[in-house]
Amino acid sequence: MEKLLKKLGSIFGDKILDVACGRGEFIGILMQVLKDYEKFVGIDFSDKIVKFAQEHFKDKPVEIIKMDAENMSFADDSFDVVGIQNSLHHMLKLDKVLYEMKRVLKPKGNFLICEMHCEDGQTQAQQNHIKIHHWCAEIDTILNIPHKKTFQREQIKEIAENLGLTNMQSFEYSFPMENPKDEEFIERLVKTITSYVERIKEHKDYEGLKAEGEKLKKSLKTFGYAPAATLFFIGKK
Ligand SMILES: C[S@@+](CC[C@H](N)C(=O)[O-])C[C@H]1O[C@@H](n2cnc3c(N)ncnc32)[C@H](O)[C@@H]1O
């Protein structure tokens, strides 16, 4: 983690793009750890999420735009840094998205990939993060929202290596949780599980996924929750 923070602390650029920005967690992190920047641009194709992120960053040098990452409207070589966090497994056409990310990145610009993985050997609290993710992916898939299972370490490595970047560096870390069994936090996750499955109430798989959700709640109360291990790749175009 220390080495990664040092590396990120050496990166600067005027315009920084976060692809599939969601609510903007990655932008928030990069704002704190990069050496310097002028402006962030975040894109996401969900109306609801774009509105949330626009409101969240309204007083910050951040522009949130509704845009499909498979077809970006930016000119070639527009950004100094282009990144994506925990969204590779959400992309329907990942190759197209990665091609677009590289296209809009300036020559010698930094390409950042940050992605959790589901490799064995993680704590039971981390496994709960992975299991919740895979359960949510099943529900999203029923609702036609692109969401696959998270990748194995080697799969993410292959994706990063196939980008044809130079000066590639890789980092791996598990973000520590002060208290994986924090009751308030676990209760929030339990509520999310309850409401998440209600979105498919009419579907034939509802009862099965609901039962699976109940098992997840039990496991959360027993073992707690911690973020899954994460890979971070940084390379230059
Ligand atoms: C796990 S969330 C994003 C997490 C976010 N990057 C973060 O660091 O907190 C995945 C996001 O990908 C978005 N998404 C999926 N496919 C997309 C696409 N083709 N173009 C733009 N956004 C997309 C979804 O709307 C969702 O907000």
pLDDT in tens, 104-163: 999 999 999 999 999 999 999 999 999 999 999 999 999 999 999 999 999 999 999 999
Q: Is the pLDDT of residue 1 over 90?
A: no
The CB of 85 under 6 Å from ligand 1? The reply is yes
Residue 176: predicted pLDDT: 82
Residue 236: predicted pLDDT: 98
The CB of 46 under 6 Å from ligand 1? The reply is yes
Q: How many CB atoms lie within 10 A of CB 207?
A: 10
Using CA positions, which residue lies closest to atom 16 of ligand 1? 91
The vertex-51 CA angle with 49 and 55, nearest 5°, equals 115
Q: Is the pLDDT of residue 177 over 90?
A: no
For the segment 171-193, the average pLDDT, to the nearest whole number, is: 95
Alpha carbon separation from 10 to 34, 175, 199, 227 (Å, rounded):
7, 21, 44, 26
SS3 235: strand
Phi, psi angle pair for 54, to nearest 5°: -60, -45
Do 23 and 62 touch, CB atoms closer than 8 A? no
Concatenated DSSP letters for 97-150? HHHHHHHHEEEEEEEEEEEE---S---HHHHHHHHHHHHHHHHHHHTT----PP
Residue 144: predicted pLDDT: 96
Using CA positions, which residue lies closest to atom 26 of ligand 1? 22
For residue 166, report the distance from its CA to the centre of ligand 1, in Å: 26
Report the relative pairing of strands 105-116 and 230-236 from DSSP bridges.
antiparallel
The CB of 44 under 6 Å from ligand 1? The reply is yes
CB-based contacts of 67, cutoff 8 Å, min separation 6: 43, 44, 45, 73
Using CA positions, which residue lies closest to atom 7 of ligand 1? 25
Instruction: Tell me the C-alpha distance between 157 and 170, whole Å.
Output: 9
Domain that holds residue 231: 2-236
For residue 160, report the distance from its CA to the centre of ligand 1, in Å: 18
Phi, psi angle pair for 35, to nearest 5°: -65, -45
- Of 130, 85, 92, nearest to 112 (Cα)? 85
Residue 194: predicted pLDDT: 97
Number of domains in the chain: 1
CA 192 to chain centre: 18
SS3 167: strand
The CB of 146 under 6 Å from ligand 1? The reply is yes
Instruction: Tell me the C-alpha distance between 37 and 40, whole Å.
Output: 8
Q: Is the pLDDT of residue 82 over 90?
A: yes
The CB of 91 under 6 Å from ligand 1? The reply is yes
Chain-wide mean pLDDT for the chain?
97
Instruction: Tell me the C-alpha distance between 77 and 101, whole Å.
Output: 10
- Of 28, 21, 17, 146, nearest to 73 (Cα)? 17
What's the pTM value of the predicted model, to 2 decimals?
0.95
Q: What is the CATH number of the domain that holds 91?
A: 3.40.50.150
Do 197 and 206 touch, CB atoms closer than 8 A? yes
Q: Is the pLDDT of residue 11 over 90?
A: yes
pLDDT in tens, 56-77: 999 999 999 999 999 999 999 9
